[in-house]
Structure 1
Amino acid sequence: MMLLHGKTMLVTGGSTGIGRAAAIEAARQGADVGINYVGDDAAADAVVAEIQAAGRKGFAFKADVADRASAPAFVARGVAELGKVDIFVSNAGICPFHAFLDMPAETFERTMDVNLHGAFYMVQAAANQMVAQGGGGAIVAVSSISALVGGEFQTHYTPTKAGVHSLMQSAAIALGRHGIRCNSVLPGTILTEINRDDLADADKRRRMEARIPLGRLGQPEDLAGPIVFLASDLARYVTGAALLVDGGAFVNLQ
C-alpha cells in the first residue's frame, strides 16, 4: 500500500539533500510532488525526472524562500500543476558556519531570512490554501537537533531551528480546527550540502560518528521515511510533535 496515494506534496529546498530524498520517496508512496529550489537547475530537473519515473506528476519552481513573495507564488503554482496542496514540507535552510564574536550582520540576517522567515511565510501560504480547499492537510517542517542543543559556530543557525520547531507547535494549535496537522522532524548530523565543508575534516567526522549509538552519520534518505509517516494518515492523530532522527546522538551523554 502506498502511504500517500492520491495526495499532493510541495517541498521547499527540494533539489538536494533531505528535500530531494523526501520528494522522491513521496512520489514512490503515490504523491504528486512539486519542489522549490534556488540553486542548480540540473539538480532540480533530475528530481522532477525521478518523480515522473515513479509515475507521478512533478514540477520545479525556482525562487528564494527569503523573498516572501515566493511563498504564495509557489503554492499557486502547486495548485495550477497538481490541483491542490495536501502536504507541505518546509525544508529549505542554510548554515554558513561562523564564530559568534565576529559574526557579520549579513550572515545572521540571511540565515534568519531563509531558515525562519522563509519557513513562516511558506507555511502560512500553504495553510491558507489548505483552509480554502477544506479537508485538512499535513505540514512537516525540517527543524534540527540544533533546536535542542548548542553549536559554537551555529549561534545564528540554532535559534532559527528552535523557531521552526516552535512554529510547528503553535501552528498545530492555530490550524487544528481546520484538520491541518503540523509536526517537525529534528535531524541529527546528516551528510548534505549544508555541512559538507564542515565534515571534510576526517578527524572531526570520526569523533562525531563515535558519539552516535547507531555508529554512523545520517543520510538524507534517513529522513524520508519519518517525513512520509508524519504526512500520511498513519499519523492522523499526531500534531504539534517533534520527531528526533539522529541515530541516538541526543540521548548519548556518556
Structure 2
Amino acid sequence: MAALPAWNLLKGKTAAVTGGTTGIGRAIVLAYISQGCNVAVNHLGLDKDEGLRHSLLEEVKAIEDTGIKAGKILELAGDVTKPETSTSLIQEAVSQWGKLDIFVANAGVFKPAELLNIEPSLLDHSVDVNVKGTFYSCQAAARQMVKQGHGGSIIGVSSVSALLGGGFQTHYTPTKAAILSMMQSMAIALGKDKIRCNALMPGTIGTSLAAHDMKNPTKMAALEERIPLGRIGDPNDMAGPALFLACEEMSRYVNATGLLADGGMYSKLQ
C-alpha cells in the first residue's frame, strides 16, 4: 500500500519507537521520517533480524533520495524488559537531536496457546515485554519530556484485544488491556506537563505476530468475514493513526483515549 504523502507534519520533531524494524513499528518509523521527523529506533539486535535492520535503513535512504525533507534515523539494540534499554534509546535521541517530542511503545510479543497448556515462562514473557516493557519505556520518555517542559505525545500500541477475548489469547489480551489502562492513567499523571498519552488499538494486522492466522485459509476467511471492510489490515494502515496521535496540530486535545483501527471488526456482533 502507498505511503502517506510527505506533508511535513512532523518537521523538526524527534521521536523514539520501540520494536521499530518490523510490522507496525516499522510502518510508523517510515511514516514519521517521511513527515520530517528524526526517529530513534529500538530493536532486539538479533542476528536473525539483521536483514530487517538493513532493509529499514535502505528504505530510509530511498525516502531521502526522493528529495523530500525527510527526517534522520538512528537505531539501537536492546531488550525493553530492561529499563536501561529505553533510557539509553532516549538519551541517544536527545544527544543526537536535542529533545524528545514523540514516543511510541510498540514492542510486543504474542504466541497463541491453549489456556490449560500455558506455562509460567510464556505468561511471564508476555507480561514482561508487553506490560513491563511498555511501562519502563513510557516512564523513561515521560521523564525526558517533563524535564524539557514543552509537552509531548506518548503512544502505547495496544490492540482490539484489549476489548475482546480470545480462546488462545488468555495470556495476551490482559497485557493489551493493561496498555490501554496505562495510557489512561499516565495521561492523568502527566496532563499538568502537557504530555498527551493515548493508545493505538490495531485490529488484525498482517504482521509476524499474526502469521499463525494468515497461514490458515479457514481462519483467514473467518477473520475477513468478521471485518466490515472485508480485509485484514496492513501495517501501513496504522501509520495514519499514529501520525494523527503524534501531531500536535491535529490531536492536541486527544488525550487518555484508545484509537481503535480495526476495520470495524469490534462492532460486528452479528
TM-score of the aligned structures, taking structure 2 as reference length: 0.91
Q: 2:53 aligns with which of 21, 44, 58?
A: 44
2:221 is equivalent to residue 186 of structure 1: no
Q: How far is the alpha carbon of 1:219 from its aligned partner?
A: 0.3
Aligned partner of 2:235 in structure 1 is 220
Question: Post-superposition, which runs of at least 4 consecutive aligned residues in structure 1 deviate over 6 A?
Answer: none
**Residues of 2 paired with 1:69 and 1:97: CA distance?**
29
Partners of 2:13 and 2:147 in 1: how far apart?
16
* Structure 2, unaligned runs of 5 or more: 1-6, 65-69
Contact 1:78 1:85 in 2 (8 A): yes
Task: Name the structure 1 match of 2:267.
Answer: 251
Q: Does 1:13 align with 2:19?
A: yes
Question: RMSD value over aligned CA atoms?
Answer: 1.1
- Equivalent runs, 1:89-108 vs 2, <5 Å: 89-108=104-123
* CA deviation map 1:169-206 (0-9, x unaligned): 00000011111000011100000011112321111101
Answering whether residue 242 of structure 2 is matched by residue 236 of structure 1, we say no
2:10 is matched with 4
1:207 aligned partner:
222
Quote the offset at 1:215 in angstroms. 0.3
Q: CA deviation at 1:76?
A: 1.0
| 1:65-121 C-alpha deviation (Å, 9 max, x unpaired) | 112221211111111222211000000000011111121100000010000000000
1:45 is displaced (CA, Å) by: 3.0
1:112 matched to 2:127: yes
2:35·2:71 contact (CA, 8 Å) conserved in 1? no
Superposed, 1:116-135 pairs within 5 Å as 116-135=131-150
Task: Read off the aligned partner of 1:217 and give its amino acid letter.
Answer: I
Alignment partners' CA distance in 2, 1:236 and 1:50 = 30
1:131-170 alignment runs, 5 A limit = 131-170=146-185
CA deviation digits over 1:30-87, x for unaligned, max 9?
1011110114123123223333433321011111111222121111111122221100
Q: What is the aligned-residue identity percentage?
A: 46
Q: 3-state SS of the aligned residue for 1:138? A: strand
User: What is the number of residues matched between the two proteins?
Assistant: 254
Cα pair 2:14 2:97 within 8 Å, conserved: yes
What SS does structure 2 have at the residue aligned with 1:59? Answer: strand
Corresponding residue for residue 58 of structure 1: 73
Alpha-carbon distance between aligned partners in 2 of 1:138 and 1:99, rounded to the nearest angstrom: 37
TM-score by length of 1: 0.97
1:13 deviates by: 0.6
**Are the counterparts in 2 of residues 14 and 44 from structure 1 also a CA contact under 8 Å?**
no
**Partners of 1:33 and 1:51 within 8 A in 2:** no
Q: Which amino acid aligns with 2:154?
A: I
User: Unpaired runs of 5+ in structure 1?
Assistant: none
Q: CA deviation at 1:249?
A: 0.3
* Pick aligned residue for 1:25 from 13, 22, 31: 31
